[in-house]
Chains A and B, each alone.
Chain A
Amino acid sequence: MATVTNEPSAAPSRRTLMAVLSFLVVFIVLMTIALFNAPTMGGPRVMATVETYLTEVRRTALPFLGAVALLAIVLGLAAARVVYREWPNPKRRTNLIMGYLFLAPYLLITLTFTVGVVLFALYISFTNYDIFSPPQWAGLANYARAFQEKNFLQGLHNVLWYSLLVVPTQTAAAILLAVLLNSQNRFKQFFRTIFYAPSVTSSVVITLIFMWFYLRTGYINYFISNFLGTFGVEWKNINWLGDPRGLIQLIVQAFGGDIPSDQWYLRGPSIALMAIMFQNVFTTAPTFMIMFLAALQDINPALYEAASLDGANGWHRFWKITVPLLRPIILLVVVLGTIGTLQIFDQVYLATQGGPLGTSLTPVYVLYQEALGTEGPIQMGYAAAMAFILAVLIFFFTFLQRRFIERETQLY
């Protein structure tokens, strides 16, 4: 109804006023959120009155608030600038205000419980912090330390192998299962349910069941030894979750050599780690299968018909039609898979506690040990530093994968 006409009467002073106001709003909101994320100790004593809370904040969190204040000023200025620029145009002005007002409830919650917490973690990653006393500034010491300590390095080494083996396997398995299910219509629902069952089962339960399977006297050894026995081959039972021998080491040993213990990084993934990998593929492949199944049903059957007319066999149709059309989903599955494998924790926590000889340690498990002080003093700052190193690594891999898989496909 209203025609868009710049109101020349809108005095520049009002424009400035609104810009200043928006700066103040952004600054105050951010600082309030930081204030809620800041203090070290909580509980009834600290929360009794505003004064006791502020005393605690003063005791522990002034440097953190200072850092956030800087950030708040930058963001506040940015907001002020946008407001200043958009103000003369009434339509865009309304859009701006309304847009952010509608976003406000969600934004406040996210800022408080996600962004605020992450910022606090980032801050303490530069400090020595035992969760009771005020964080002590330590600069980059925690980051430097992570790259010197064997546990974290071994953890990184392990999860890199883990991703390298698990992600392709589970993606291939998922595609295979999906194509199999998609190729026939009878019992589709039934098999879909059966295949999907491991994914909806708690990973704790599955880990416990696999721990029994993997015993030296467990079912897997029994099965292999009986299977090989029919061919007259003798099988020496393996304590799957307790065997630190690495894949490369086993190959070298087969040729009569060995890799000494202090060169653990050359040994490759241990049998224990590979046992966990197998279990992980078993539980996650079906989840991704569902995604592929959904994508397969989107593929136009006419394409297959046309290809058949041109003389393409099943193999060709799979490689030339199915796989290329699944590419966006493959990217999604590979990225999700990589993130999931780099963050692996629960299977390790339950099944091996990082053993044998640290060959199943993962960064998140090491982080847990340090954050909760299971092996020594609580070192929350060091743990936070490891978390950020891992996060950067995950960003990096995701970026690489997007570059490689996303070519020639539209954004997904």
Chain B
Amino acid sequence: MKSLSKLLALLFIGVMLLAACAPATTPTEAPATVAPATEPATEAPMTEAPTEAPTGEVPVTGSCPLPVEEGATIVFSGWGDETEQQIYRDSIERFGSVCPGVTVDYQPVPTEFQDKLKAQMAGGTAPDVFYIDDQLMTAFVPTGQLLALDPYMEEAGVSSDDFIPALMTIFTQDGQTYALPKDWGTLGLVYLPAAFEAAGIDEPTDDWTWEDMRAAAQAIADTGTYGGFCMGPDWARFAPFVFSNGGAFASEDNTTATLDTPEVKEMANFVAEMKEEGSLVTPSDVGATWCGEAIGLELVGMTTEGGWMVNFMKQTYPDVEWKAVQIPAGPVTRADVIFTNGIGVNAATEFPNAAAALAMYLTSAENQAEIVNTGFAYSTHPEQADLVQDPNDLAISGGGLLPDTRVAYWGPSTGAVNTAVSQALERVFLGDQDVDTAFAQAQEEAQAALGGGR
């Protein structure tokens, strides 16, 4: 009797032990049975592609940039709304016709892309090819998560000189190229002709200066119907002012903040005075969430916005007439700020050739020409600058090709430096601090970030 219950108890214990141990032991056993990780997940998204049917007229113009691995399956990921996703689906289809051996699984991540990609990268499950911005460069390059593309570019005959020079700043580090620019944007002077008519002054031209802009903004503000020039406390809108005065947010080698230099402070004073005299309004002053919307709502006469205005106005405010000219010139030069994102390759990819081929094809002149035609983005190849079709868009994009135009990129701590600038402007616009105090504080914050970061 006693021994029986003992036996039962023992048996029970054994079962429990097995049950308890099961989850703990599987992870170590499982990989052994699954064995070669070289076998990629064959989800076969391409089986759909042929049935989806290429719209017929995909011209096979180029040849594959590189000899690719047999049976390569690569995952490509980026952010973007429906429009952008469709553009990249089309691009991938074109890629499929020049590099037929490669299966591309496109996995767009519309929001929080950077957060997700960093987690995926740490988990070893990141896509093979993906969008790259300055934040991802900072996270990935120092630890070698990105494939240096130079040998592949050399083999394929692609040079970084093929691209607009300013765009390569972000993606080149220590002489190595880690991504190729996929598109770019810049700012132009966007205005409402009706506001100029109401003020009885001439519309802006491509040779305007910031002083001309200020005078016009004052005249428009005096009408009482429109605000003058719309600008939020935003580093991106402030950057063209600084660049056109020969200044920058940090030194060439991105080690020293230069926010307390006269070049920066002069222009900060310029916008602060405009704010003071009422010729400059922030979007929240006029009840808009951003300046583009303020134009759409016909609340302000002018602002600086980019190519995204074209589709925004078409879709949201189709009845509002608006125009654009190149960014105004400053005391020293005419210079604009440029924004760009690139396409890079995971250093851990199974198929580096196929992945690099996709990155190079997507950013090639051939594919970029197709994208420009959709009106979605500008080509990253300077010789294709005139392919931009909308006249306003063409005017805005002109700023991007100016010799002194640059990206607001200051190395790994770019985000912190730019935030310091935005906050300084915010304090100035709110009347919380004068320009000297605000930018002295920003200088301190930016310097801490530049000196403190790795």
Contacts and interface: CB of A to CB of B under 8 A. Distances in A.
B412 interface: yes
A41 B138 contact: no
Contacts of B438: 261
A105 interface: yes
Contact of A239 (B138, B139, B284): B284
A375 to B, nearest CB: 4
Interface in A375-394: 375-378
A101 B23 contact: no
Given A372-B115, A376-B453, A44 B37 contact: yes
Contacts of B28: 50, 53
A242 B233 CA distance: 11
A182 interface: no
A40 interface: yes
Interface string A347-385: 000000001111000000000000011111110000000
Interface string A119-141: 00000000000111100000000
5 contacts: A42-B125, A130-B139, A244-B432, A378-B118, A378-B139
Contact of B122 (A41, A217, A237, A375): A41
Contact of B118 (A53, A133, A216, A372): A372
B24 A42 contact: no
Contacts of A108: 20, 23-24
A47 interface: yes
Interface residues of A, number: 52
A45 interface: yes
Contact of A375 (B115, B125, B415): B415
Contacts of A323: none
A101 B16 contact: yes
Interface in B223-241: none
Interface in A140-169: 150
A130 B143 contact: yes
Contact of A377 (B23, B285, B412): B412
Interface of B: 2, 9, 13, 16-17, 19-20, 23-24, 27-28, 31-32, 35-37, 114-115, 118, 121-126, 135, 138-140, 142-145, 284-285, 287, 289, 348, 412-416, 419, 423, 426-427, 430, 432-433, 437-438, 441, 445, 449, 453-454
A377 B139 contact: yes
A374 B135 contact: yes
User: Which 5 interchain pairs have the tightest Cβ spacing?
Assistant: A43-B124, A217-B287, A375-B415, A132-B143, A44-B37
Contacts of B122: 40-42, 131-132
A377 B136 CA distance: 9
Contacts of A237: 287
Given A44-B125, A357-B423, A373 B118 contact: yes
A356 B124 contact: no
Q: Is the interface of B mostly helix, strand, loop or mixed?
A: helix
B419 to A, nearest CB: 6
A46 interface: yes
A49 interface: yes
Given A357-B432, A376-B449, A378-B118, 11 more contacts: A43-B348, A46-B124, A48-B36, A104-B16, A108-B20, A133-B143, A216-B287, A356-B430, A373-B118, A374-B415, A375-B419
A50 B123 contact: no
Nearest to A41: B124
A97 interface: yes
A32 interface: yes
Contacts of B135: 373-374
B415 A376 contact: yes
A112 B426 CA distance: 46
A117 interface: no
A17 interface: no
A294 B341 CA distance: 55
Given A244-B430, A358-B423, A376 B31 contact: no
Contacts of A94: 9
B115 A377 contact: no
A101 B35 CA distance: 33
B37 A373 contact: no
A368 to B, nearest CB: 9
Residue picked from A41, A46, A376, most chain B C-beta under 10 Å: A376
Contact of A41 (B16, B123, B412): B123
A376 B138 contact: yes
A2 interface: yes
A191 interface: no
B145 A132 contact: yes
A372 B144 CA distance: 17
A379 B65 CA distance: 38
A101 B21 CA distance: 11
A172 interface: no
B315 to A, nearest CB: 20
Contacts of A131: 118, 122
Given A42-B125, A132-B122, A373-B118, A47 B16 contact: no
Nearest to A262: B441
A334 B284 CA distance: 37
Residue picked from B31, B449, B453, most chain A C-beta under 10 Å: B31
